[in-house]
Structure 1
């Protein structure tokens, strides 16, 4: 099995061009172990590793010990950061943990190795399919259907996912062919989590019915991402014309769909918040009805409130 999987992994790395040196987010699991090992083989002496200790389960200390031992064996510098992310009302624990993890990764790299500006993450083709299916189940728009990007910028760093086209099974096959061990997170089999249910129940059925689903789903996600890029450009141009804060009269000259587009862009770019579909529809209804000086707008939108101030819309945190 291993010879079949190696080319896809090698091709993924051939298409990956990080700035050197760079860091790998290393949990100790199979996916990040494959990424760390493959990267150290391709760029010896240029790889750093960051392990995030969540403290959410009894096995966390053992994960850290495993990561320390492997990094010592590979002569890879390792930074460990401990996070305990509490979640806000309405926020899932998984989302809170994810945000805390990204923040800790960035902080570790910028503190330990100021010369490092790139971080590689080990999400693979199965993770991308799961993300797309979760987005579909929630009725997501294009940003959700675009799933996970292969490359983006955030917190002054370049983030990469070089394995998005590689099935998770191929990574494990490659590790087994090398006799390399990894740790298994027991929560990965807990089917109370949607992602785990998809992995255990849906992906095997898809593989049987649609053998090429990973590739075709990835193409659909890429098409959605391209379309969203175009919409982002349109929204930015509209917002430049409407102004910040947005002028109500100019907003009303746009069609409803374009109003929704530019309002989402304004809230995301200038206030780091995202409205629900219901909140945005109510705001659009209020805009349509805003034809007199006395019309009041004060709506819960995202994590705060959109309100009318004279001829403009403003947003305030809750």
Structure 2
């Protein structure tokens, strides 16, 4: 009698345990301190609606899905997210506002002001040219006859990858890149999940879409659960738009770390065992990848264990 396959979430828990027990303890940009390893990989099968949603704690997938849709709009202001109750990007503009104004405003009051006051949101809610701006409107410049550079049309990397998957599936250039060196200093946070590469395996009706995400910096306890779901969702949308079957999500991390102030979360989560098989359904395929709505997504068979919270290092 053959043994049942190991639950795919054990990869995540094994990585967490390895970092916590063997990682290099070091100070970091935030001043909190981390335990860190370099060069890691996880693999998840996305076939049959499978999705890498952690079951050893609740992952707020609805916020992650709304964030992905926000990326695809090219928007860089947190106001549309806050209008939907998504607060995951508030920490960075809040910190900037406190430092600039000297006002000791709490997060909830700051978020309410962003939602209610459009002028305030325009000034204090923008994150700079992060993620979605680079994905759908990468800036270009043209050398004019007057000898001066002028801004050219932006490059929509997402649309170009959808088209290249349809017309040239064997290409090795199906890449969405967020690391625009020229604009890093204008971003509230340089992209952590920076490079997505897509790969088509097989042919015809058997063709499968794989995605590899490279993450230069990864907060394993808080960020990675969101990143895995977001990458899986993006892959699902790409597959739906190109008529491809689902293959693998391959996640690769550079500086892969746990924050020292996440001790309680880590130690509690490592006591738990994964169970269940969450699924993600895409209930509508619109004309373009930019026309999806949150209501098009459905997660089912997801029964996670209790919520585990920890502070975000800013």
User: Is this a same-fold pair by TM over 0.5?
Assistant: no
Structure number, greater radius of gyration: 1
For CA contacts below 8 A with separation 6 or more, give which structure has more relative contact order: 2
Q: TM-score, normalised by structure 2?
A: 0.24
More strand by share: 2
More helix by share: 1
Q: TM-score, normalised by structure 1?
A: 0.24
